[in-house]
Amino acid sequence: MKIQKQQAMRNVLIALAPASLAAIYFFGWRFVALLAVVTAFGLLSETIMAKKYDLKVTESVFVSSLLFALSLPPAIPLWMGAVGIAFGIVFGKMVFGGFGRNPFNPAITARAFVYISFGVPMTGRFVLPQTTFNWFPAGFGTWLSKADMISAATPMATRSSSFVELLLGPTSGSFGETAAILIILGGLWLIYKKAANWKIVVGSIASFLFLQTIFFLTGVGEALHPIYALLGGSFLLGAFFMITDPISSSQSTDLGRWVYGILFGLMTVTIRTFSSWPEGVTFAILLANMFGPLMDHYFKLLKNRKKQVAKEGAK
């Protein structure tokens, strides 16, 4: 089997390496087992579809698998990860014609499917990180940290962690969302390598903080402190690594990138504040993906119209 090489995808894998190591450190070697299962089934699903429809298997499947694995709670059954990534690869990418034609991010498509289909394992079975009790070897010396100590939910629901814990990682949550500092550093490196567009990231974070601050100061929906809301949950992982996907995001114009990022940030805050889910990143990304092609179309028309008017004015 020949896999099409993609340097941009390798850059994403490198940027996610610190968060992946942190997943082992905080929660144990079970992350490696989950990642292996998810990657195997993701690759198998893409290979079968590629062979059937004469498409190419690309290195993007490894990025989708890693992002999906990082977005899952530590105690989730391995078979759910396998089912989720198979759905994400097949129905989030391959049915649309493979890499370069998918309107939705495959990793977030997979997460949405599992989130809707298996609500309890995805929202109510989180474990405390090993570092809460043992700083070294922490998760490197266990299969799953404190598996018998199931907490009710993530800090987004319980508001039980400090700002420092959210920043450094020793708190409950999905495998790859707890250490905000590592996500930020990996994301900045990704921007430096031009594998992610900074306008989308800045637009996402700025709009998120803007609306979250308004809700917090006015007491709407018991909104969290803006910085707490930013560091907690999977928003930063989504802002740096998912919403910036060059295929499913708006990329045709700078204006489109700004609006696309702003839309994601605003929708995340809105869903978190007014819905029954404390985490709104999954659905915010999918909604933004839906509007991406429309933005590309109309912002392109607007750009071409301005050029045409400028040409006519020059005459």
Could you tell me the residue ranges of all domains in the chain?
3-303
pLDDT in tens, the chain (315 residues): 688 889 989 999 999 999 999 999 998 899 999 999 999 999 999 999 999 989 889 999 999 999 999 999 998 999 999 999 999 999 999 999 988 888 999 999 999 999 999 877 777 667 777 665 567 777 777 877 765 455 545 666 666 778 888 898 888 888 998 899 999 999 999 999 999 999 999 999 999 999 999 999 998 988 889 999 999 889 999 999 999 998 888 777 888 899 999 999 999 999 999 987 778 899 999 999 998 888 878 888 887 787 776 666 666
Provide the terminal-to-terminal Cα distance of the chain, rounded to the nearest Å.
57
137: cis peptide before it, omega within 30°?
yes
Question: Under CATH, to which class is 3-303 assigned?
Answer: mainly alpha
DSSP conformation letters of 91-113: HHTGGGTSTTT-SS-HHHHHHHH
Angstrom CA distances, 205 to 195, 209, 273, 313, stand at 18, 6, 16, 38
